[in-house]
Structure 1
Amino acid sequence: MPDHLDIAGLERAVLSLAPSEAIAWNGRATEVYGEPTELVDATLERLGWGRKQLEAIERQRLRYLSSKITSPTPAPLIGWTVPTPFPTGEFRFFALDVETANADRSSICQIGVACVRPDNSIETWTTYVDPKTDDWSCTRIHGITAPTVTGAPTFDQVFPLLSKALGGHVVYQHSGFDQSAIAAACTKSGSGQPTWEWRDSVQVARLAWPEFKGNGGHGLSSLKQHLGLQFAHHDAGEDARASAEVVLRAERHPAWQVTVDLPVRRSITIEAALESLDTIVEPGPAESSNVQTDQSSSKVATRPIPSNPIRDAMLARITARPDVRPHPSQRDAKGTKYMSAFTLGSVAFVVDKMSAGKQPIWVLDRADIRAYLDTENLEYHVYTPDMGRNSNLQKLPSFGKGQLLRIFPATADQGMGVIAKLER
């Protein structure tokens, strides 16, 4: 090759096209080792290379070393200012995963998409994203740093490509984190929200392998062990491929055949819209409407409180705690017809009374709470400030416009465990 070619750049370009499972080093962040010079010399001798070829190699080596001296910032795996091309062709469904620089979910620093073709083969697309932040507190999780994303596109440069490729398709995530991160990044960048249909491979795994509950759960780390999945956790491309593989394995499960067309979870946006209908205020004279009325001038149609023994047991245990107080916005611990709000020290939380079969707990979003929920494999949704919410939450300071977690404990014990974690 001519001496002017950037061999290191060509290497990065090849690695960007190769399947992640084919990259042994250093795509998997293995320990750095010394160059095997004796093996290289033996290989060159066996190839029969002469003085001309060896001199060309030496010039490339010196060129590489000089570039390291003049530019101490390591280049990213893919150095570009525009996103890498997205795979083309026909796909059954996609799976998407993101990594973030810090606890702010809009700080996306890597996006991976697994594209599942009609023959169930998986093609993975991965890109770094420059979140333009100085807070890299999540580097300890995924190893991505500010130098890693130097030259990478920003989210507003990447999202149009994703929107075009994934729009109208089914896109799996493993838990609700990725959907909330994309939504937060879209809001921050001024982009429109995605038009694809989110699904959750955690829900698919729970239906296919209920026996894993209480035995490691249905997180990717647990499924890696139980199903023998081969992937490097906390790499967006690897995790996206693992999520897609979970769906494909579930389709082949002999005890229960799941298809990707089965809706496994309603969209958070849809659920939020439904929650906002808990109380419907209709203006106009009472005689023109069949709705029930209260003593106010508005006509209010209300839903009856659904029976829920788990919720009632949890509320009884909450009110029995001496360190828990009714929220100042409420008269007493009974709260309103729709919710009971409490304070634990300086932390506020809400128990939703209007969800039949569930007992949601609302809290302000906190990274330590999400980490606990992920560890315990508890289902939760993230409500970003631009998303709808129950009108009763608007009455609580910070809950009306803040970013919230809606947590779904399956038992009273799980609910009390969440509340215990609220204590800072």
Structure 2
Amino acid sequence: MILNDLKRKKMRQRNPQLREIDIELLEAAQAGKFDKVKYLHRVKGADIHARDLGRGVLVEAAKRGNNEVINYVMQSKFYHPELTIKDIASWALNAAIYEGKIRSAELLVKYYKVPAESNAFRAANEKGYIDLYRAMIEVNREVNKEEQNKLEFYLLMEAMDCNQEDIIKLLVNDLKVGVTIQTFENYINEMSPEIIKVILDNGFDINSKLTKENFFPIPDYQYSILHKVLSSNKLIDLAEYVINKGADLNSQDSEGNTPLHILMKNNEIDIDKRLELANLLIEKGVNVNAQNNKGDTPLHVLVRCKEISYPDKKKVAEFLIIDCNAEVDIFNKLGSTPYSMCPASSLSNDIIEAFLIVYERKLEEEERLKETQDNNPKAKNIEELDTNCGEENIAKIAEEPSYKATFVDRVEANSTRQGFFPRKELLGNYISDKQIASCNTK
């Protein structure tokens, strides 16, 4: 009794405007006594919106999960000079969620259409009330349309900040909350591949450029999503998905680099993945000889990259030159070719070997085609004539003992054929200036 008297005394001191009957009403609400609340309000005239420390009858009922009192208050016609019923009910909703009174929260949201504030969403998220979270979004869309877009944007930012994948999936995949380019580029490094797929599957433009234009002083790289995933070891497994989704394979960033350029300078991925993705890009139509703003082709970029090991660089270079017809004698703006940029190592030898294999093979096929086409006039290429005559892949030809001619012998032999004009930049390490001049005048 003494405790109750002290409690009432403090309540009066905090709220001089409260009458004794109002204090009694608040105590009944705190105790969950529905019949007494109803009696004091209807019979004794207690103020249904009386509050102490910001908490009124509705908030106290929500905190304790007293749904009878919630129903009674929500259905009562009452007026507050400063607050609307929705304001008071929003506070009650927060209280119910924080106290774990899920049924009371659902009653306020689903039945009374109480709009939720950001704090309510945060609390529902923390407690794992995903169904309630969804219901709050849907109600807010119905009764609070003007502010809903801002709220949903805020909720998405918050979910991405905390890497809450279930909420991101709910917002983007189920509730179709849109993701802006700025949002995507700010969080792509923190997103899991699964979340990126969810965003791309829900209408995000696969060829959007990640400009960073609103976030000075970060440079405007003009990366496409494909550029980004090919530059990141964490996201590299998304590359095939993005390619098959319809990404522009020849899109250029602000430095003129295509996705193949980016792949060639990513030193974090292993050789098998690099070859697999390079093959996929080329099969899908990437320009293997595209030049960036410096005039570099992907082969230039590969040769320059010091972080890639020699064995791996050799395999990729052979693949690009032999299998993909990458040119080794394209000049960049500094006047360098991929071959002339090679360090003084056997890599130079490997690249020129690959070039000669391709060139000689091409001439041999042309001659064989010409010789046999009279007997088979419908044939259009050498594969139709003899299916490569049973020979092994040309990448293995150079390993055969019968093919171990010296570079000089092979260059001199080829120089008599029309269309082959060796350049100093390409063969200077192997033959003399006199031999080069001789070849170029034949």
TM-score normalised by length of structure 1: 0.29
Give the helix-richer structure, 1 or 2.
2
Give the strand-richer structure, 1 or 2.
1
Larger Rg: 2
Which is bigger in relative contact order (C-alpha 8 A, separation at least 6)?
Answer: 1
TM-score normalised by length of structure 2: 0.28
